[in-house]
Amino acid sequence: MTATTDRPSSTEPKWDKRPVRGPGAAAIYLQVAEILSEAIKARQGAYFALPSEGDLSREFGVSRVTIRQALKLLEMRGAIYSEQGRGYFTTTSRMKGVSGFHSFTSEVRRLGGTPGATLIGFVADVSLPEAFCNHLQVAGTGRFILLRRVRSIDGRPIAVEEAYLPMVLYPDATKEMFEDGSLYDRMTRLWGIVPAWADALFESIGATMEEAGHLQIAPDAPVLAVWRVTATDTDQVCEYVRSIYRGDGFMLNINRYRL
């Protein structure tokens, strides 16, 4: 599967034309927020850009201040998010709840989305970088296979991922073996390795130029770096991973899970 260009739908929803004023009615911005919320829900989790504040102001016949209040309320609820200079976008509900610990492919499918992965790097016989050893507090001895992938949901890039796999556990591994599908499924089917538990460290940082390009965000935009060590039931480490998740329009459910 491949990640495609992150383009929100150009088809704008039709807002309910019911009046937003009335004796004893709720505050106008609350009424506008409710109408927008219902229209977003009617699109069943589709990702799209909302009209500008000016367009919404004219459409509803209310001030831009009122529209801004309504949008901020929806942003607080997690229904939409804003990008400076670009406007407001829906937060795709199918992205919510991904833990970052289970198989990304399986989790996204369980939530009703379409997972994608683009392999952007494969190098065999490398050392575990010092940054991994320091963050995860591991010795990192031995030689590793490096996989670099861009993960996506419904064609929208969500994360840039670096995975270091101990070479001793994956004999005869080739680049073609990792070009599509679930990494965890491949581990189990080809080498009998079943990931069972994971520990992770979370760090808020700014996106590098390369990461921003892959995630289609601005350089130095806030992202979440997740450093993870994954092991089998016998405590055999089967991967070290660093995932860079975009900080907008995506929710990561942070818990420890049995895989």
Question: What counts of helices (H) and strands (E) characterise the chain?
Answer: 7, 8
Q: What burial class does residue 181 get, using C-beta atoms within 10 Å of its C-beta: 0-12 exposed, 13-18 middle, 19+ buried?
A: middle
Indicate if the pLDDT at residue 3 is higher than 50: no
Q: Mean pLDDT of all residues in the chain? A: 81
Q: What is the fold of 93-246?
A: Chorismate lyase (3.40.1410)
**187 three-class SS:** helix
pLDDT in tens, 165-193: 999 999 999 999 998 878 888 999 999 99
Domain residue ranges in the chain: 28-90, 93-246
Looking at residue 146, its pLDDT comes to 97
**Could you tell me the CA-to-CA distances from 63 to 5, 76, 89 in Å, in that order?**
35, 20, 20
The whole model's pTM is what?
A: 0.64
Looking at residue 87, its pLDDT comes to 85
Q: CATH number of 28-90: 2.60.40.1220, 3.40.1390.30, 2.60.40.420, 1.10.10.10?
A: 1.10.10.10
